[in-house]
Amino acid sequence: MASLHADQAAGLRRLREGTVPGLCTVLSADGGDGKPALMRRLAASMQRRGRAVILVDTDADGPGAGSGLAPCATLADVASGRASLAEAGWSEPDGLRRVRLGQASGEPSLGRLLQQIAGEQARVLVDAELDADGELPLPLLADGEVVVQLSGSPASIRAAYDMLRALKSLCGRGSVSLLVTDADPVHAERVRTNLFHAASRYLALPVRSIVPQESSHV
């Protein structure tokens, strides 16, 4: 238990401050409409640490739900030399820079571009989903921080465990963390503890925990 509490205390600091290569991918076990707001809160939390944040959307459709913008260049376009980074993405009303990943297809130049941005320019916060085969949109994402967000519902807990099982074979060098939202502190602690021990015992997967300071923000 002491290890779990130590991981919880360090989790949010690590997510805010960033670890090499400055890359953080967020998966949601809820499948609801709350993830965009969560991503904005995480980005704002990182920005308060004094470093710019680029939010990368792995959705291949459009420039962003409800953005009202015409399709624009993606990071894949930048990596292939078809566009500059300044031409990719758009700025949202809150000042957050958002850009689509584009067609990854295991393109090594796209991975190198993400590494360069994360290492030299900004924290890269990736809004992603596992595909039907349990794979991330880009293999490089498994080498950074991977956060699994869940609520306290049984369905969300089961989905989170399935994600951890898929991540076991992907995150050999990366870090996996849990973020429990929309649950009272006592229940959230119970959920974190149970998943922490289940991942350790049945998956042999080291899992850390991120504890929001307040229910209103991360």
Per-residue pLDDT of the chain in tens (218 residues, 90 and over written 9): 444 444 444 544 454 444 435 899 999 998 767 788 888 888 888 888 777 899 999 876 544 444 555 568 999 999 999 999 889 988 888 778 899 998 866 568 898 899 889 888 788 999 999 999 999 988 888 888 999 999 889 999 999 999 999 999 887 667 899 999 888 889 989 999 999 999 999 998 888 887 654 444 44
Please give the pLDDT value at position 63: 47
Q: How far is CA 97 from CA 56, 87, 140, 191, in A?
A: 9, 12, 21, 33
* pLDDT for position 65: 41
Cis omega before residue 71 (within 30°)?
Answer: no
* pLDDT at residue 45, rounded to an integer: 83
Q: Residue 50 has what pLDDT?
A: 73
Residue 18 and residue 11: Cα distance in Å, rounded?
A: 10
> What's the angle, vertex CA 154, arms to CA 151 and CA 158, rounded to 5?
90
Residue 47 phi/psi, 5-degree rounding, is: -65, -30
- Local structure of 96: helix, strand or coil: coil
> What is residue 125's predicted lDDT score, i.e. its pLDDT?
94
* Structure tokens given for 169: 């074979």
pTM of the model: 0.82
Residue 17 has a pLDDT of: 46
Q: What is the pLDDT of residue 172?
A: 66
Q: Which one-letter amino acid corresponds to residue 207?
A: V
pLDDT of residue 8: 42
By C-alpha distance, which of 102, 139, 147 is closest to 123? 147
pLDDT attached to residue 18: 42
- Residue 103: strand, helix, or coil: coil
